[in-house]
Structure 1
Amino acid sequence: MSLFAIQRLATTWFWTAEWMTDMEGMQKKAEKVVEDPSNELWSPLVDKVLIPLGQITLIILLAYIALRYVDRVIDRLLNISRFHQKKGATLNRLIKSTARYAICFIAIIAVLEKLDVPVTSILAGAGIVGLAVGFGAQNLVKDVISGFFIIFDNQMDLGDYVQINGNIEGTVEEIGLRVTKIREFSQRLHYVSNGEITRVTNYNRDRMRPLVGVTVPYEADQELVQRTLHDINEDLSRRLAPYVIEPFSLFGVTNIQHDGVEYTIMGVVTPEEYWMVEREMRKTIVRVFHEKGIEIAYPRQILVPSQDLRPIFPVVPQNEKKPEEQKRKEIETEPSREKGDVPEGEDG
């Protein structure tokens, strides 16, 4: 008998034995089903299909309820807390966004466990991938960390008027973990990465000092100007009293310019009304100065004619010659006389 025939016979015997074993197993399974049909038929269906399906449905339902009511819970917690209104509005969006991500992540992990998916291996692989991505996305990590510090250091809140890095100025519309949105007065919207924010100038922190300067000519009555500015300060302090923290005062002569003397008035007001107060200060100065007849300086030139002006060096007219020069010219122009020449009209 050849080797090929022996190998074929062995393979046939192996498959026959396996088939016989399967037949015996199927026979035993059939006998168990006949003996206890309810347990043997429905138990695997319940254990392997219905119970996991019900658990997955319950997880999805709980996640939906959590996502629906998490906003209300966060709003209520921030309302009963001692956060400032702007601070609460800033944290509101951040906490809601983080809570939604957390709920969705937990729900997905729970569903995968019920489906017998190896969650541990997936998380381990995701951790390795996240570590590699972290090394490659250092700017993203920097933005997120900077965003946390901006929020918890209370550098700025929603609605604050700020200046970013000395060149972007506007109102804060949103502070996220990665990007901060600043809208200018012209309504242009700037998206600034949190990692690029190195200097924040906030115009909405407790108090602001409006400073308004006015320049009057040198010829003006300086005593009258100072008395008028004192009256203006008293009027502003009285009319703007709800917004005034420190009364308005005259800071004095702050500059001597080529066109006149500069005076500055100032005060301390609430930050929300800072711009309105400065506009009102300028308008009041112009109105009162006009009523008092005080002129506000502007670039000008004054020409004063005088009859006493004399030239330093005397100017000789062109038709007037000096005596010496006239004599010299006469000598040069006199006709020369030679021997024997007799002028006309003269006898010999």
Structure 2
Amino acid sequence: MFISKIINTIIIIIISYTLVKLIEYLLNKLFQFTKFDVRYENTLCSVLSSISYYIVFVICIVLILREFNIVDATKFGSLVTGASIIGLIAGFASQSILKDIFNGFFILFEKQLQVGDFVIINEEFRGTVEEIGIRSTSLRDWDLRRITIPNGNIDSIRNYSKNKMRVVVHVRVSYEEDPMKVIQSLEEVCEIMNDKFSDYLYKPNSSEESKKFSVYGVTDIEKNTVGPQYTITGVVKSYKYFLALKETKLQILIVFNKNNIRIAYPKHINIISYDNKDSGDFE
């Protein structure tokens, strides 16, 4: 008798696992026929898969408990009793679980995150959103490590994938450099970015003004700095942000090198004093 219950339990687990995989397969097939944004489709698929996992898991637990006569799904009283036992066991963790679930729903409804977004969470975890569930969110970082964060622990989100972003690049040059020559060189960099890399630029609609790369000007001449700071800015497509940032810095180095403009760096001058008796040895 006990062996048959074990066998039935194994069968229930196998069927539950197969059902979860079938639901995941059907969801992927379903979203192939929809016309939503790809990231939005992946987000919905991730969330619906997560919900289905929990539903199948609860049903699986109830069926297993019924096999061992702990719960009788046909009798309301025993079902309530079994549910009470499960609820009592889960009650210790219920607060954190509910916090995760509620925070997850807020994140989804407010569209703070979507699968495929590059984000920084809590100013600590950075990577591409790989999966969003009702309890947790998973990222894949630069080293391809998977980071899973409970939704209830998410306090701040910095999203780099919301249509447009402003590239801001600062560069310091020596105080001896001609400011007008520096600005002209930076304008040359902006022309290169606007022409050669125009596909990086954000294309606004008719109600928005186009904001190409331009020289913002001198943004810092404070004392105790190695040189004045110049800044250029440009608005680009969000998914091109890091490419545009790297290319802008590279073009600054190329143009400055061509125009013989020196980028500032810390200098240390050591002054060594000698006695008069030894001064004749040095001229």
Contact 2:160 2:238 in 1 (8 A): yes
Percentage of pairs with the same residue: 32
The structure with more radius of gyration = 1
Q: Could you tell me which residue of structure 2 aligns to residue 252 of structure 1?
A: 217
How far the C-alpha of 1:102 sits from its partner, in A, is 4.1
Matched, 1:127 2:92: no
Count of residues paired in the alignment: 241
Q: What do residues 231-250 of structure 1 show as CA deviations (whole Å, max 9, x unaligned)?
A: 21011111111110231000
Letter in 1 for 2:38: Q
Query: Aligned to 2:235, what secondary structure does the other structure show?
Result: strand
Cα distance, 1:86 vs. partner? 1.4
Matches of 2:130 and 2:19 in 1, distance apart? Answer: 27
Indicate the residue corresponding to 2:148 in structure 1: 191
Moved more, 153-162 or 271-280: 153-162
| SS of residue matched to 2:31 | helix
* Residues 91, 151 of structure 1: 8 Å contact kept: no
Alignment of 1:1-348 (within 5 A): 70-99=23-52, 102=55, 118-133=74-89, 135-137=91-93, 138-245=95-202, 246-257=211-222, 258-300=225-267
Whichever residue aligns with residue 273 of structure 1, its letter is K
Cα separation, 2, equivalents of 1:221 and 1:250: 16
2: distance between equivalents of 1:220 and 1:141? 60
- The 3 A distance-change label for structure 1 pair 125 and 248 is same
Residue aligning to 1:16: none
- Specify the code of the residue in structure 1 equivalent to 2:254: R
How far apart, CA to CA, are the structure 2 residues paired with 1:103 and 1:182? 25
Q: Assess, with a 3 A threshold, how the Cα gap between structure 1 residues 83 and 238 changes in structure 2: closer, same or farther.
A: same
Please report how far the alpha carbon of residue 66 of structure 1 lies from its aligned counterpart in structure 2 after TM superposition: 6.8
Q: Which of 1 and 2 has higher RCO (CA within 8 Å, sep 6+)? A: 2
Q: Give distance in 2, aligned partners of 1:300 and 1:100.
A: 61
In structure 2, the residue corresponding to 1:209 is in which secondary structure?
Answer: strand
Describe the SS at the equivalent of 2:218: strand
TM-score scaled by length of structure 2: 0.73
Q: Which runs of 5+ in 1 are unaligned?
A: 1-61, 304-348
Gaps of 5+ in 2: 1-14, 67-71, 203-210, 271-283
**TM-score normalised per structure 1:** 0.60
Separation of aligned partners in 2, 1:226 and 1:72: 57
C-alpha deviation, 1:135, in angstroms: 3.5
Q: Is the 8 A contact 1:134 1:141 kept in 2?
A: no
The Cα offsets for residues 287-344 of structure 1, whole Å up to 9 and x where unpaired, read as 11111111211223679xxxxxxxxxxxxxxxxxxxxxxxxxxxxxxxxxxxxxxxxx
Look up the SS of the partner of 2:212 in the other structure: strand
Q: Which residue of 2 aligns with 1:7?
A: none
In 2: Cα distance, 1:176 partner to 1:65 partner: 20
Q: Superposition RMSD on alpha carbons, in Å?
A: 3.3
User: Displacement, 1:71?
Assistant: 3.7
